[in-house]
Structure formats: structure tokens, C-alpha cells
A = this chain, B = another copy of it.
């Protein structure tokens, strides 16, 4: 017997009933046209979109829910790394408790697909990874969480990191990370060869932080792309941030073509400050792109509030978008786009047009798609991106996991 979500408006279109069988959407039918159901969830006319996918969050460092801590640490990646190292052990709660709380808030606000980094380094060993894995376990029925074993402090600067990453992948990390191959380890080939070797050994994916800008970043990106091709890892590699693509230059445009060709995914946190990805061009080129919230009020930054809809607004704002179809695109990237980053399938992110009852043409709500949904009160998807309504109804695999901003 199916579950039916009645009176929902898929992508803000006419109201319909969403029929869910075995955790997947089986049909979207006209109101009242659904078969007998085991469970009926009244959506009350809310707009329904796929649940949010936060594809780039650091659950291991979050301080959400703890006393607000004035930011310390000087600007720059290295200073931020050291500032975090100096302070994280003095947090009022354990990594597991903090990650569990923040993941819960993210789910309550509509994110049921998450890729979190967990820092693996000589100082913290596997402690942060264990905390994030524990948070995933606590919320296992509420969200799908991937964990990246992330060598925040480089791989070859400190002893034992390769072994730690190896152990992390053996104990449950889904991907191996990397970071700024030139600027951190200062030996890009050695850094990237280690990352790709670990991925190959464990048969897992890769997600590399790339903050390097301009031609240096494009060089590191090239080295990554060469290795994707050489190791036939098309569809399995993500580059996060990719600030080097922000410049509208011929080399960065060529890089975008190559990224599409090799099916490398990108993640952005909508950083502003001239570091934003060329979103429209990426989507047009067929590149998988997802949105993430990065740190959640941690030792790196006071920003981050667990709300992917707020970050979707930020994506629209930083892209300078004002047209409804572009606001919809931001919502598509934040939901189905990120799902494609996580599961490797290329999503359809084009403008959401046409009648959505019957065959649903908005991304992520077609028969066969997972019934991971977020519903909110709004006139339309575009107005929701502007208004960021707080009251959310959240489903994961067809089950209601949060309502009115609280976990169930």
C-alpha cells in the first residue's frame, strides 16, 4: 500500500497528490486521483521540491547550538587551520554531539542528502571522522550522508596522514579528500597521486577542496583532470569551491568544457567576494553542480545556520540573478543538482516549465525518483527563494522526518 502526499504543489505548479511506493515517487496525480493509501500526509497546498542536498558541509567543526564564540584567527587558509587546531578540543561538547545536533537542524530545515567532510590529520587522528560517522548513524533513518576523509592539513606535511586516510576509508568514509595541492603540501603531484591511489585502493570517490585562485588553481585543476582521465574515474570525482573558475577567462572556459567531458562534479558555497562559479555556463555545459553550506558556525567562521534555503537565496544573490527561472535554477541546483553530485547521475536542471501534474517536468519529482522532499508555504518556487519560509515539511524515503522546523 502506498503513502500519498495530498494537496502538494510540485515545483509550485497546480496541486496534485504525490504517490509514494517503497520510498520512491510512483506517480503524481490530479487531486483525489490517488489509489488507496496506507498513510496520507496532507501537504496543505505547500510547494513541493526535492529535499535539499548539502554537498559541502563540515559537520566535524560545527558549533551551532553552543554559545556564540567571537571569531579568532587571522585571515587565510593556513591561519584558519591553525586557529581551529588550537581551539577545537575546548568545545563544550564532543564532535559527535555537535555533528549530531547540526545534522539534525539541517534535516529539520529540509536537507536529507548531505556530503560532510571530516578532518583527518596528525592532531585529531580519526576522532573527527568518528564523530561524523556517529552523527550519520543517529540520523540514519532521516538522511543519506556521505563522509569525506579530508586531509585538511595536507597529506605529506605531517607524519602518518596517508595511513590515517587509509584507515578512514576502511572504517566507513565514502570518499577521500584533498586540498590545494600546490599551496598546502607544496607538491601537487605527490598530493594528488596519493589521493588517487587511496581512491583506487578502496574503490571510492574523490572530493578535493580547491581554493587556489587564478592560474595556479587552473594548474592544479588540470592535474586533477589528467588523473581523472588516466584512472578512468569519470563521474567519481568532485572539485569543491574551484575559485579559479570564477574569473571569466579563456582558460577557465576551456576548463569548464573539460570538466563536463570528464564528468567531474563541482560544489559551491556561494562565497561572494568575486569567487563565485559561472553557474549558468556550468549548467549549460552539463556539469553536475551542487550547493553546500561549508562550516556551520565553527572555528573557521561565524557563518552557517543549517538552512539550505537561506543558502539558496545566497546563491541567487551572489549570482546576481533576478529572473524567476534563474531563482528556480538555484533551487534546482540546491536540491536535485546536489543529488547528482552525491549519486553521480547527471540531473536535468533546465528551467522548470509546463504542467507539472501528470508527468512532472520539474527536476527530481518524476516517477522513480526518491521520495526525498521538502515542502513549504509559498506562492511559487521563486518567491520561496526570496522569502525563505521557515515552516518546512520534510520527507526522506517517503517518511516524514521533520515538520515545522523540528525533527520527528
Residues of A within 8 A of B (CB): 67-68, 70-71, 272-274, 297, 301-303, 305, 314, 317-318, 320, 322-325, 327, 379-380, 382-383, 386-387
Contact = CB atoms under 8 A, between A and B. Distances in A.
Contact of A274 (B67, B274, B382, B383): B274
A303 B326 CA distance: 13
A386 B317 contact: no
A382 B302 contact: yes
Contacts of A71: 322-324
Q: In the complex this chain forms, how many copies of it are found?
A: 2
A297 B314 CA distance: 16
B318 A302 contact: no
A293 to B, nearest CB: 13
A84 B314 CA distance: 25
Given A272-B272, A302-B327, A383 B68 contact: yes
Given A68-B380, A379-B68, A317 B303 contact: yes
A303 B382 CA distance: 11
Contact of A273 (B302, B320, B327): B320
B274 A303 contact: no
Contacts of A68: 379-380, 382-383, 386
B320 A317 contact: no
B386 A324 contact: no
Contacts of A70: 323-325, 382
